[in-house]
Amino acid sequence: MSPSTDLAGLTTFEPLRQQLLDAARAFAGRALAEAGADPAQLIERAHRLALGRAPDAEERATMRAFLDRETALLKGKNGPASPEKIDPAFAAAVADLCHALLNVNEFLYID
C-alpha cells in the first residue's frame, strides 16, 4: 500500500472546503440583506464586514469588475437561493465575491 492511499480517508481538506463555502454563502446572505442589490453599497458593506475597513478605490474597481464578470457568467445557471427581488446570478456572484474576501492575504498570520 502506498503512503498516499494510507492517508486517503484521513484528509480534512474536504470538510474545511465545505465549511468555507458555507461561510461565504452565509456572509453573502448577510451582505445582501444589509446592503441590498446595489453593487456599490454591497461592495462597501461586504468589505467592511470582512476586513473592518472601507475598500480603497482600486479594491472597489476590482470587486465591481469581478461582480459584473461573475454575474454575466452565471446568468441562466442555477445558483443558491437568493432574497426576493435579487437576481440569482447576482446573488451567486456575491457569494463568490465573499468567498474571495475570506481568502485575502490580510487573513494570513505569519508566526
Q: Flag whether 65 is in a domain.
A: yes
Q: Flag whether 64 is in a domain.
A: yes
pLDDT single digits (tens) 35-58: 999 999 999 999 999 999 999 999
Q: Flag whether 45 is in a domain.
A: yes
Q: Flag whether 34 is in a domain.
A: yes
Q: Flag whether 18 is in a domain.
A: no
Range of the domain at 32: 26-107
CA distance 54 to 44: 6
Average pLDDT over residues 84-94: 88
Average pLDDT, the chain: 87
pLDDT of amino acid 27: 96
Q: Flag whether 21 is in a domain.
A: no
Average pLDDT over residues 79-91: 75
Q: pLDDT category, 1, cuts 50, 70, 90?
A: very low
Work out how many domains the chain is built from and give that number. Answer: 1
With cell 474571495, the residue in question is 100
Q: What single-letter DSSP state applies at residue 71?
A: H
With cell 445557471, the residue in question is 77
